[in-house]
Structure 1
């Protein structure tokens, strides 16, 4: 049995409860169950071995997710923002795919060699198809294929099996724990593990899902207030835009009990402003990777409150919290051969039933004992996990390894810095130079030497940026991850010019 059983259980326990949409006129769990069974029947008639989705997050995503589960084939949501040729390349990498696309993206797929249905067409045809009885999925079967964002290399297809996703769910979510009035706002994209994890965790807990396909700060606040949203998840760039929009005013979202964030590094000044604006809301930092079926470490509401109230614990806000049940973590040396003692920085390895570590066409990268190399630099102190950025981002200057995050965390506190990214640029003498790329928070700040002086007073001299470049924005994925390879190319070309 696969993830289809999640909907089976929810439909049996609370058939009349709203699963998706508004409190009046939304889709109930019984209706979602029937839609998924009919969708599975349609998929079987189409002869698909993969179902591709190109569209925004919305009520169709749970239908597609549970339809493919019951049909026993994987769902592959793609980034609808990609250029046409990249979308077609990814589709061609999948065996016997059928594509479901929102109407506005159908033309973008012109030239696709495979069957394309618009979202509305899929739902209409599914409604005319006999429902499938039972579930054809197996624990070892692939439930989802997710292509990584490719911030440092070409996208890889991560295979998440039913057992991986169920393990994550059973160890972190209590079945039927949501009260009927609770609602979750889902604004993360469907091609991100957080978007798919939201479907599973909210259906398993019995929580109503409402959607915000196109994020704006005011639009997000309006939906929270209008729909009585009790929980939501945002990426750091979303939260930064919300607190900028509030500009010191209280958020006035009385129903919002929980606000989770993740997907990229959260600048501590942004988090502190958000904690002040959402004074009665519990904050949760959820850290995970595509390959780990979502969350593997959590910094909970009480941790946030204690750290925000106590200056001696304030540094804990930069941690990702404690490892979740069912997952083990080790910090290893650079070559992966030695486990480092607590407090030392190295590379994070994780192990557990929810960890996949398996790639389409490349097999598994787990070691012989089942450990997955995350490629994140990290340390563990007092049971809390601190992430120091990707190992691939490390700057090697004069033979010394320098983590960009160490410098970024300092510069983020400068009063005139809105966003910052630290990268390495080529240097004939030192191997690499440290370059700080800054999006200023004021219009007239253009003094690189002032930034360097300010940084030198707070860091070792070898960590002071050699170059400071001001920019209007930083290249990021829709989930807020910095696309370092694009930034390095832009800045290197600019410095050379």
Structure 2
């Protein structure tokens, strides 16, 4: 990681962070990294120790991650809104220290917290005096998986400097996409603009107040933003690019974004915690077709499923068998269509609904429903059915109250007009919401 610190030294006066209206320069980042490095030694945090970092974004939190990486520690970031229970996470990774930050994210308190867990992958990094990063899956399909990365390998993707931008790190610090975003911004000597929370109002206010140029977000958040209409209440003229990923984007939401932000580039991204975030190029701003890959990545499609081979892949799962084949290919479990060099992501294999042997992709049903009046958000999933195997169920968040039976008729009529009969929801539920996790990703379950 020393190359990253050296890059900061080339622009000591440039703003690295705007955190709660506090501007922190790259020169100050370097000073803070050095000070925290000295403090690690004074506290007794030894190379190879596992440090659980309990915090969200702030300049000091980022600096501590860099200091821990330079000290060859294993870093376990856990955000306040984590989707994985802290106790369950640390039972997988083990722990030697807690580093807790105050509410402002400025002052860290270190305390011993010994949880003895032996793991050969972590032991291998420690033996080589290499820094590690442990992230966790959400555990939506079972026990969460601990994902171990070599920090130097993750950072290497950003050694080639790119154009600087002022951006919000939308995904949380315990999500690979969040780590990827903050490294991408700082390695290009851009400016990280933090937000107090990830509500539409807070995001829009930060864009307007600080001239944010890049917003990396999830389709679930952008759907909510479009439904709320809050984007009309703020001056978002500084935006140059909106990127979206982690889940399938509804075409209806993309159409609304294109209409609301005609001068803004809309770019689909693609990545997984196991392999990293690939470079991507959307066919055009209104298209869900995307070309992914870039230096250090290879892709192939086998039986309609996307596979990836990556130079930036994880070291491995801490508590599960490897899902890489003998040649280093990873099965993404994402069903895709192919058109030349472009892919269209249809959805995760685990989300597919099987109705009497027929496949239903939740995203295509949600896309139709989201175009209906009075529907703010929709989540489609399968429930067991005695004769068909599964039936299609739709959960809806409404803008205003509406009788359930009338809504069901509207939803079914719209779906039957555009989709095969078996894809129309048999059950429609009205809920208060939200229909997404703390990571702003769609929740598709009863």
Range into which the TM-score falls when normalised by the shorter chain = 0.7 to 0.9
Aligned to 1:80: 80
1:117-266, aligned counterparts within 5 Å? 120-122=107-109, 141-170=130-159, 174-175=160-161, 177-178=163-164, 182-246=165-229, 249=232, 252-266=235-249
**Structure (1/2) with the larger helix percentage:** 1
Question: Is the Cα–Cα contact under 8 Å of residues 149 and 477 in structure 1 kept in the other structure?
Answer: no
Gaps (5+ residues) in structure 1?
A: 106-117, 124-135, 308-315, 334-345, 489-497
Aligned to 1:8: 6
Q: Is 1:479 the counterpart of 2:436 in the alignment?
A: no
Question: Is the Cα–Cα contact under 8 Å of residues 140 and 161 in structure 1 kept in the other structure?
Answer: no
Aligned to 1:21: 18
Question: Is the Cα–Cα contact under 8 Å of residues 29 and 63 in structure 2 kept in the other structure?
Answer: yes
Aligned to 2:301: 331
- Structure 1 residues 477 and 222, CA gap change in structure 2 (3 angstroms): same
Question: Is the Cα–Cα contact under 8 Å of residues 379 and 443 in structure 2 kept in the other structure?
Answer: no
Q: Is 1:399 the counterpart of 2:380 in the alignment?
A: no
Between 249-258 and 403-412, the greater mean CA deviation after superposition:
249-258
Q: Distance in 1 between matches of 2:280 and 2:357?
A: 35
How far apart are 1:184 and its partner, in Å? 1.9
CA offsets 1:323-363 (integer angstroms, 9 cap, x no match): 33332212212xxxxxxxxxxxx221111202327211435
Between 251-260 and 385-394, the greater mean CA deviation after superposition:
251-260
Between 15-24 and 144-153, the greater mean CA deviation after superposition:
15-24
Gaps (5+ residues) in structure 2?
A: 111-124
Q: Distance in 1 between matches of 2:157 and 2:426?
A: 44
* Corresponding residue SS for 2:418: coil
Correspondent of 1:298 among 275, 280, 285:
280
Q: What is the aligned-residue RMSD (CA, Å)?
A: 3.0
Q: Distance in 1 between matches of 2:201 and 2:22?
A: 24
Q: Is 1:455 the counterpart of 2:438 in the alignment?
A: no
Q: Distance in 1 between matches of 2:225 and 2:100?
A: 30
- Structure 1 residues 19 and 450, CA gap change in structure 2 (3 angstroms): closer
**Structure (1/2) with the larger strand percentage:** 2
Q: Distance in 1 between matches of 2:241 and 2:126?
A: 33
What's the TM-score once normalised by structure 1's chain length? Answer: 0.78
1:335-354, aligned counterparts within 5 Å? 346-354=304-312
Q: Distance in 2 between matches of 1:251 and 1:298?
A: 29
Q: Is 1:322 the counterpart of 2:292 in the alignment?
A: yes
Q: Distance in 2 between matches of 1:451 and 1:387?
A: 24
What's the TM-score once normalised by structure 2's chain length? Answer: 0.86
Q: Distance in 2 between matches of 1:403 and 1:458?
A: 14
CA offsets 1:428-484 (integer angstroms, 9 cap, x no match): 212211222222344225221332122112111222222222222244212222233
Aligned to 2:121: none
Q: Distance in 1 between matches of 2:366 and 2:373?
A: 13
- Structure 1 residues 237 and 482, CA gap change in structure 2 (3 angstroms): closer
